[in-house]
Structure 1
Amino acid sequence: MTIREAMEKRHMVRKYKDTVLPEDIVKKLNERIEALNKEHHLNLVLRVEDGTAFAELIDKLITKNAKNFIILAADPAEGVEEKIGYSSADIMLYAQELGLNTWWVGASFNKDAVKKECPNHTVYGVISIGYGEEQGNVHHSKDDFEVCSYEGEAPQWFKDGVEYALMAPTAFNRQSFYIKGKGNTVHFEYKAGEFQGIDTGLVKYHFEAAAGKENFEWA
C-alpha cells in the first residue's frame, strides 16, 4: 500500500473486532513510535489490551472493543502541538498500511485513567487503534478552491498536496486551513482556536506526503 492509498483508505473507525494485536504488529508500532519520539522529542506510548481510556464510551455503545490506544504526550514547548499532529498522521497512516484502523480522539476519553499511564507529561489526546468492524466512511470535505490559491498556474504537486490535505482528520471536521503557493514556496494558515496546532500538523503531513517534500518549502 502506498502512502497515498493509505490516506485514501484511512477513515475514523470507532468499533473494532475483539482481536488481540499480534506481537509482530505491536513491535512494528512501538518501533515507529520510538522513532517519532526521538525525532520530535515527544513521549508517545502504546497501550494494548487496556480498555480504561474508553470505558464510558463502550458502556454507551459509542465505541466497541476500543482496548488499544496510543497516548499522545509530550512536555509543553513551542510548536509541540504541531509535532503531535504531524506524528499522529504518521502513525495513523502507518497503522493503515499494517491493516489496522484508527480514531484520533481529542476529548472523549478518560483523561484521568490515561494520565496515570503517562504522569510526567502533558497528554494532548489519544489514538484508538485496532482491526475495525468496518472501514469507516469518507468525511464531508470542502472543495479545493475553498482552501487554497496559487499565484499563476498551479503545478501538479501543489494540486495533489491540497487534494490529500483535505483527507486529513481535523477537529470537528472544520478544515479551517488555507494553503497559498507561489513558485516552490507554500504558506500555510489555520484559523485560531482549539486544536489549531494539532490540526496544522495533521494537515501539513498529508500535504507533504502527496506533494513531495522535495518539490517545495514551507514559508
Structure 2
Amino acid sequence: MNMLEAMQTRHSVRQYTDQAIEPEKRQMLEQLIQDINGEAGLHIQIFFDEPDCFNSMLAHYGKFSNVKNYICLVGKQSDALEETLGYYGEKIVLQAQMMGLRTCWVAMTHGKSKADIRKNEKQVCLLSLGYGETDGVAHQNKPLERVCKNSENAPEWFLNGVNAALLAPTAMNQQKFCFTWQDDGTVKLSRGMGFYSKTDLGIVKYHFELGSGRKLP
C-alpha cells in the first residue's frame, strides 16, 4: 500500500480490538514522530497501553471503546500551530494506515492525556490508534465544484489534488475549505469558519500535496 491508497482506504475508527501493536511498528511510529518533531519544531507524543485517557464519560459519549494507544498533537502556541499539527498529524495517520493500524482524530471526547505539555505549549487534539474492530465507513463528500473555483481552467494535477483533499477527514465532515486555481498558475487554499477549521486546513493541505504531487506554500 502506498500513501495514495492509504488515503482512499483510511476511515475513522472508534472501536478497537485487544490486539497489541507490535514492537517493530511501535518503533517505526516513534521514529516517525521524532523526525516530525525535529523537522517542524513540534512536541507530538505517543502513548501505548494507556487506557485511562479514553476511559471517561466523554469518550463513551463519543462512542470510543477499547482505546489503549493514542497520539497527542502538541506544540508551541502560535497562529500556525493548529494547521501545522493537522498537516503532520495526517502524515502520521496515513503511515499508520499503511501499517494496518486504524485511527481517529479526536477533539474533545476524551479524558486527560498523559502528554507533557510545557510552558507556552498547547495540546490541540489526539489521535486514537490501534487495530480496529472494523475498517470504518467512508464519509460522504461534497461535489468537487463545491470546494474549488476556476477548475475549468485548471490542469489535471490540480484536480487530482482537490479529489485527494475530498478524502481528508474534517471536523464533523464539514469540508469547509476551498481551492482556487489562479490565473498566474498558483493555487489558493482558504478555509471557512467552524470548529477546528485551522486543523482541517492542514489535513486537507497534506492530502492535496499527495494527490497533486505539488507543494503548497
Structure 1 segment 1-219 matched on structure 2, within 5 A? 1-56=1-56, 62-110=63-111, 113-114=112-113, 116-120=114-118, 121-150=121-150, 152-182=152-182, 184-213=185-214, 217-218=216-217
Q: Counterpart of 2:142 in structure 1: which amino acid?
A: K
Q: Counterpart of 2:55 in structure 1: which amino acid?
A: A
In the alignment, structure 1 segments of 5+ residues that lack a partner are none
Q: Counterpart of 2:79 in structure 1: which amino acid?
A: E
Q: Counterpart of 1:119 in structure 2: which amino acid?
A: I
1:149 is displaced (CA, Å) by 1.7
Task: Indicate the percent of aligned positions where both proteins have the same amino acid.
Answer: 34
What CA distance in whole angstroms lies between the structure 1 residues aligned with 2:41 and 2:192? 26
1:151 is displaced (CA, Å) by 6.0
What CA distance in whole angstroms lies between the structure 1 residues aligned with 2:62 and 2:76? 33
Structure 1 152/137 Cα, relative in aligned 2: closer, same or farther at 3 Å? closer
- SS of 2:93's equivalent? helix
What CA distance in whole angstroms lies between the structure 2 residues aligned with 1:108 and 1:11? 18
TM normalised by structure 1 equals 0.92
The ranges of structure 1 where at least 4 consecutive aligned residues each deviate by more than 4 angstroms after the TM superposition are 57-61
- SS of 2:72's equivalent? strand
RMSD (CA atoms): 1.7
What CA distance in whole angstroms lies between the structure 2 residues aligned with 1:104 and 1:152? 33
1:197 is displaced (CA, Å) by 1.4
For the 8 Å contact 2:106–2:128, the answer to whether it is kept is yes
What CA distance in whole angstroms lies between the structure 2 residues aligned with 1:46 and 1:174? 27
1:12 is displaced (CA, Å) by 0.2
In the alignment, structure 2 segments of 5+ residues that lack a partner are none
- SS of 2:7's equivalent? helix
For the 8 Å contact 2:151–2:159, the answer to whether it is kept is no
More moved, 179-188 vs 40-49: 179-188
1:28-56 CA-partner distances (Å, limit 9, x unpaired): 00011011111111110000000112102
1:144-199 CA-partner distances (Å, limit 9, x unpaired): 01110236532111111011101111111100011001353100110133312111
1:59 is displaced (CA, Å) by 5.3
Q: Counterpart of 1:50 in structure 2: which amino acid?
A: E
TM normalised by structure 2 equals 0.93
Q: Counterpart of 1:123 in structure 2: which amino acid?
A: Q
1:130-153 CA-partner distances (Å, limit 9, x unpaired): 111110000011010111023653
Q: Counterpart of 1:205 in structure 2: which amino acid?
A: Y
What CA distance in whole angstroms lies between the structure 1 residues aligned with 2:61 and 2:202? 31
Q: Counterpart of 2:67 in structure 1: which amino acid?
A: A
In the comparison of the two structures, how many residue pairs are matched?
213
1:3-25 CA-partner distances (Å, limit 9, x unpaired): 11000010000111101111100
